[in-house]
Amino acid sequence: MPRERFKTLTQQMFYILLALRREQRGVDILEEIRALTGGRVTIGSGTLYDLLEQFQAQGIIRETRISGRSRSYRITPKGEEMLEEEYRRICAQVEDYRRVTGEEEAP
């Protein structure tokens, strides 16, 4: 059975949506993700623009401004809901890990 599109988010998808909680251009998104994660998460520009196009087609983000070739985007309420759902899923995984390992707090 094929995986439902955007049912769970990849790490790259998660950080793109997180960055788009405020209006940003593609290049700004890449810089913010790099800074936010200390370089741990990197996204190629081709991947970024492909995901932005897919997110926009699904109503997860919207285009907010066009200036020449530069476009700005922002997350929609649907995207906010997806981001929150993914956050809860990740938190549940952390809790499962802690329960199994007996760890009480993250390192």
Span 37-55, pLDDT tens digits: 999 999 999 999 999 999 9
- Asked if the model's pLDDT at residue 72 lies above 90, the reply is yes
- Whether domain 11-101 has CATH 1.10.8.350: the reply is no
Domain boundaries, the chain: 11-101
Long-range contacts (CB closer than 8 Å, 24 or more residues apart) made by 66-72: 70/25, 71/25, 71/26, 72/23, 72/24, 72/25
Whole-structure pTM value = 0.86
> What pLDDT is recorded for position 107?
55
Please return the burial class of 107, using the count of CB atoms within 10 Å of its CB with bins 0-12, 13-18 and 19+.
exposed
pLDDT at 63 over 50: yes
Query: Quick one: what percent of the chain has pLDDT higher than 90?
Result: 82
